[in-house]
């Protein structure tokens, strides 16, 4: 027996697909409501569709919930293990004359006839009040005598969900509003088996930016996909909570604890919630900023290639580039993109490039015509300026040393040549930052290397 007055919720996915963000948000709203009210959440796998339910999907759902930090108090239960109980209730309502077995011919093939169990519709008006939608009324007449089981051993969703919610003492049914039209049928079945009616909260669907139903063709929809793209579970949770729920303030960055404290159905919108990847990315970056340094480093490590990780100077350089990486990325997956664009390798090893690249493109110069021999002279001057500096210089020391010279010779030309000599890239941090990351010795080596390139 459950404690009287205790909130009991349930998250009952069908293991017929990977956990997608829509279902994950349903799980989250259940979780937040349950925790806020000191209740218990049940996790139930609705696997009566044996043909489409697989272990692979089951595992994916379980792992995704764990990764997101959405815990439950009971389960996983499996409907496939509860057939006897459904049978008991089916018999009970058939015996009471509230459902009946009917032999019907297959609409596609009149030669085939099969048995189904239909619910005897009392044809009445059903009213219920929904925590999000308010008062709702349905006339069940249109539903006719709907099918609740293929046979006594093979009950269908409407029946199993009602029996389970009753047997498990569920007090609140929180689910996507694509289920709203199922509710009248389920209420009729509850009345037939003498089950109390739970409180309903139907939450708005997640829509694509064009207001169509969000699906794979709009990009990643699986929780695991976001995990692989290098999103933080904290950020995805934060984002999903804001999809349809409005905290009523300007605050946007929330931890799970804060969400639990503030979540409330009265602030859940009725209309569809539009998925906005830019906002998710922004939140991911915000949560990255909140990460302790060591955790951030651990996460970065997962996305760096073996090639980089086995570089001789790796452990010396890594701490210095972590802040640069943090500034540059919104998701950890972007570290891979940085590597692909050659934006990381040069921190660890001598870059390769054609000597002509050392020439600053005209659009960055101010009227000064340059050729490679003057670049060569500039690089030598830079070497001479840097040589007397202490080994561990920071970027402001280098900048102060070089700036007056750059002003005199033409900032665009000098800074470009220095940056290119150090990184071999058109896009990279400024040359002072680069020099401070790779250190004085390596800086001089790379300047000399550039000089040698120019014949």
Select the span of 6-14, 221-229, 380-388, 417-425 touching ligand GLU (CB under 6 A): 6-14
Nearer to ligand GLU among residue 46 and residue 58 (C-beta) = 46
Out of 8, 9, 13, 99, the residue judged to bind ligand GLU by CB under 6 A: 13
**What are the E-state strand segments in 120-265?**
125-130, 134-139, 147-149, 172-176, 199-203, 206-207
Q: Is 179 in the site for ligand GLU (CB under 6 A)?
A: yes
SS3 of residue 86 by DSSP: helix
Ramachandran class of 19: left when φ > 0, alpha when ψ lies in -120 to 50, beta otherwise: beta
Q: Mask: binding to ligand GLU, 42-71, rule CB under 6 A, as x and -?
A: ----x-------------------------
> Bridge-partner residues for 324, per DSSP?
none
Nearer to ligand GLU among residue 191 and residue 262 (C-beta) = 191
- Helices 233-242 and 21-36: crossing angle in degrees, nearest 10, is 80
Nearer to ligand GLU among residue 12 and residue 412 (C-beta) = 12
Distance CA 266, CA 137 (A): 20
Nearer to ligand GLU among residue 160 and residue 436 (C-beta) = 160
Min dist. Cβ of residue 322 to ligand GLU (A): 41
In angstroms, the Cα distances linking 261 to 35, 116, 172, 240 are 9, 47, 18, 16
Length of the chain equals: 455
Select the span of 7-15, 191-199, 379-387, 397-405 touching ligand GLU (CB under 6 A): 7-15
Nearer to ligand GLU among residue 29 and residue 303 (C-beta) = 29
Cβ-contact 223, 24 below 8 angstroms: yes
Nearer to ligand GLU among residue 59 and residue 394 (C-beta) = 59
Q: Is 15 in the site for ligand GLU (CB under 6 A)?
A: no
Out of 8, 9, 14, 243, the residue judged to bind ligand GLU by CB under 6 A: 14
Nearer to ligand GLU among residue 202 and residue 376 (C-beta) = 202
* 150-153: Cβ within 8 A, 24+ apart: 150/114, 150/115, 150/116, 150/117, 151/115, 151/116, 151/117, 152/87, 152/90, 152/91, 152/101, 152/117, 153/83, 153/87
Min dist. Cβ of residue 262 to ligand GLU (A): 24
Pairing assessment for the beta strands 199-203 and 172-176 based on DSSP bridges: parallel
Distance CA 300, CA 319 (A): 11
Select the span of 8-16, 204-212, 323-331, 438-446 touching ligand GLU (CB under 6 A): 8-16
Q: Under rule CB under 6 A, which residues in 200-229 are in contact with ligand GLU?
A: none
Q: Is 22 in the site for ligand GLU (CB under 6 A)?
A: no
> Which chain residues interact with ligand GLU by CB under 6 A?
12-14, 46, 161, 175, 179
């Amino acid at each position: 027996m459950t404690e009287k007055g205790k909130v009991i919720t349930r998250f009952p996915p069908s293991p017929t697909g990977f956990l997608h963000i829509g279902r994950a948000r349903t799980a989250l709203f259940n979780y937040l409501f349950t925790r806020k009210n000191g209740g218990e959440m049940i996790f139930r796998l609705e696997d009566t569709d044996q043909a489409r339910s697989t272990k692979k999907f089951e595992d994916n759902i379980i792992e995704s919930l764990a990764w997101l930090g959405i815990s439950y108090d009971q389960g996983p239960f499996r409907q496939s293990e509860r057939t006897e109980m459904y049978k008991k209730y089916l018999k009970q309502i058939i015996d009471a004359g509230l459902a009946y077995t009917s032999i019907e011919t297959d609409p596609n093939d009149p030669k085939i006839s099969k048995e189904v169990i239909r619910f005897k519709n009392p044809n009445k008006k059903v009213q219920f009040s929904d925590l999000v939608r308010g008062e709702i009324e349905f006339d069940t007449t249109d539903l006719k005598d709907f099918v609740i089981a293929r046979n006594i051993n093979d009950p269908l969703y409407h029946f199993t969900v009602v029996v389970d919610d009753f047997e498990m003492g569920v007090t609140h049914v929180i689910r996507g509003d694509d289920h709203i039209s199922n509710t009248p049928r389920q209420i009729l079945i509850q009345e037939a088996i003498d089950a109390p009616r739970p409180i309903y909260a139907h939450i708005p669907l997640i829509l694509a930016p064009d207001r169509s139903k969000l699906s794979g063709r709009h990009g990643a929809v699986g929780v695991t996909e976001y995990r692989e793209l290098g999103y933080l579970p904290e950020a995805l949770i934060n984002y999903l909570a804001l999809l349809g729920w409005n905290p009523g303030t300007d605050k946007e960055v929330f931890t799970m604890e804060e969400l639990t404290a503030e979540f409330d159905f009265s602030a859940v919108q009725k209309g569809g919630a539009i998925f906005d990847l830019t906002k998710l990315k922004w939140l991911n970056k915000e949560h990255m900023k909140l990460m302790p340094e060591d955790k951030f480093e651990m996460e970065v490590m997962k996305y760096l290639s073996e090639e980089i990780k086995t570089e001789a100077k790796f452990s010396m350089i890594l701490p210095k580039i972590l802040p640069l990486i943090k500034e540059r990325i919104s998701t950890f997956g972007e570290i891979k993109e940085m590597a692909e664009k050659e934006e990381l390798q040069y921190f660890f090893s001598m870059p390769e490039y054609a000597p002509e690249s050392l020439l600053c493109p005209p659009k960055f110069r101010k009227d000064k015509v340059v050729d490679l021999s003057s670049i060569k002279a500039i690089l030598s001057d830079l070497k001479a300026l840097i040589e007397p500096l202490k080994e561990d210089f920071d970027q402001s020391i280098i900048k102060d040393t070089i700036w007056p010279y750059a002003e005199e010779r033409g900032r665009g030309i000098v800074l470009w040549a220095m940056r290119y000599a150090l990184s071999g890239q058109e896009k990279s941090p400024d040359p002072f930052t680069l020099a401070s990351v790779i250190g004085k010795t390596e800086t001089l080596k790379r300047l000399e290397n550039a000089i040698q390139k120019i014949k």
